[in-house]
Structure 1
Amino acid sequence: MEPSRATTRRHLSTSPFKPKVPEPIKTFEVGDRVSHDKEGLGRISSVEGTYAVVVDLGGGKLLRVMSPFAKLHTL
């Protein structure tokens, strides 16, 4: 049995199926109010490029969230 391919297959222009469209990268700014699916409400206290953000959840609790920010939503 052969192992599965590690690469993705390219989309053929004659294919009846639509190609996968990558999701746009979320961007945040310092001071944005956000909601985290598990931790709750907070405010962005620092942004580390497009790779990570630090969320102040109140009470001195900080949370560092890495990209692609699936559980983080702006309010």
Structure 2
Amino acid sequence: MTKPSAPRRHLPTSPFAAPVTPVAKEFSLGDRVSHDQYGLGTIVGVEEGIAMLVDFGARQVRVLSPYSRMDRL
């Protein structure tokens, strides 16, 4: 079994930009949202900082953080 590798560190002399960690969007229970793939829905469950359970009518989907494809209405 192999050990997971550590993230690479950014060297200050590198000509490439430092990797940017996306900031997770904030949602709360009951918020109406729009998702690029699933459409309109309502937040019905919250796993703080990990995922949101969203009811899109036909199905419920667990959307993982940082919620880049989901916006609050």
TM-score (norm 2): 0.70
In structure 1, stretches of 5+ residues that fail to align are 1-5
How far the C-alpha of 1:19 sits from its partner, in A, is 0.8
Larger radius of gyration: 1
Q: Which amino acid aligns with 1:67?
A: S
Q: 1:26-37 counterparts in 2 under 5 A?
A: 26-37=25-36
Q: How many residues align?
A: 69
In structure 2, stretches of 5+ residues that fail to align are none
Distance in 2 between the 1:16 and 1:66 partners? Answer: 32
Distance in 1 between the 2:60 and 2:49 partners? Answer: 18
How far the C-alpha of 1:22 sits from its partner, in A, is 0.9
Distance in 1 between the 2:68 and 2:25 partners? Answer: 9
- The alignment partner of 1:46 has SS state of strand
How far the C-alpha of 1:8 sits from its partner, in A, is 4.3
Report what 2:49 is aligned to: 50
User: Deviation per CA, 1:20-59, whole angstroms, max 9, x where unpaired?
Assistant: 1111122210121111112110111121111111112236
Instruction: Determine which structure has greater relative contact order: mean sequence separation of CA pairs < 8 Å that are 6+ residues apart, divided by chain length.
Output: 2
How far the C-alpha of 1:7 sits from its partner, in A, is 4.7
Say what the alpha-carbon RMSD is for the aligned residues: 2.1
Check conservation: 2:23, 2:66, Cα contact below 8 A. Answer: no
Check conservation: 2:42, 2:55, Cα contact below 8 A. Answer: yes
Report what 1:64 is aligned to: 62
